[in-house]
Amino acid sequence: MRSVVLMLAAPLALIVSQQTRADEAGVRPQRVVRSLFMQEYGPVAAPPAFYRFCLEDPAECRQHGAVQNFAETATRLKQLQEINLQVNHSILPETDIEHYGIEDYWTIPKDGRGDCEDYALLKRHILIALGWPSSALLMTVVRIENGEGHAALTARTNFGDLILDNRTDLVQPWYKTAYSYKMRQSSYNPKIWVDLDPNDDVLPAPIAVPDFTDGSITSR
């Protein structure tokens, strides 16, 4: 239990603490500044593998829940940390080439193996089942430090855009990562994607796979 507590990201722990006080006082959180949220630049073509995913599992690409009926409590925010940790340590990393024999295949893992977008899709699926609206859970494509493509899950909250990532057990604000953000799902329609970097017109190469062999979570 102590190890789980120690792994809580300081920013998320602070956010949860602030929300707990707001819950107890019965007040809504203050309006946050725009820099806590990623800037969107309009519609963009989704990753090709995402289209296949929606054809094979259309229920995952429908709108779920209404954000106006969703109470973003401290308990809800803690769920982000819990589900990120749970999924990161329940799936064995394996590339799509190794797993399916193709370069990029998006799916919710059912055999305990997957790569980064599979981790993110499973986290999204679980959080929606727990009552989170799909409009707050956005599949996101980024470039990691070496320029390779990677997928993570953005949780859009009153406190900003938070990143759930299989490369780390810490849930943290998007601007605290070392990533370059390329595109993500629209909060208005999960089948539509929006551009996050109008200066990057090239879809990132197949995504990096984390290496857990030494007990840490890093890019292979």
Least-confidence region, from 29-33, 63-67, 158-162: 29-33
**Of residues 29 and 93, more confidently modeled:** 93
Three-point CA angle 68, 32, 150, nearest 5°: 85
**Amino acid at the residue 175:** Y
Q: Model confidence at 215, in pLDDT bands (50, 70, 90)?
A: very low
pLDDT, average across residues 139-151: 94
Question: Among residues of the chain, what percentage have pLDDT more than 70?
Answer: 76
pTM of the model: 0.80
Q: What is the dihedral of CA 149, 155, 159, 165, to 10 degrees?
A: -50
Q: What is the pLDDT of residue 33?
A: 42
Of all residues in the chain, the percent with pLDDT exceeding 90 is 65
The pLDDT value recorded for residue 182 is 96
- From residue 44, give the alpha-carbon distance in Å to each of 60, 191, 201: 20, 11, 10
Higher pLDDT, 75 or 140: 140
- Domain with 69 in it: 2-219
Instruction: Give me the amino acid identity at 188.
Output: Y
Q: Is the predicted pLDDT of residue 30 greater than 80, yes or no?
A: no
Domains of the chain: total: 1
pLDDT over 50 at 151, yes or no? yes
Read off the pLDDT of residues 173-198 as tens digits, 9 standing for 90 and up. Answer: 999 999 999 999 999 999 999 999 98
Q: Which residue has the higher pLDDT, 216 or 42?
A: 42
Instruction: Note the pLDDT of residue 152.
Output: 98
Which CATH number goes with the domain that contains 64? 3.10.620
Mean pLDDT calculated for residue range 42-67: 92
For residue 203, the model assigns a pLDDT of 74
Q: Which two tokens stand for residue 42?
A: 């309009």
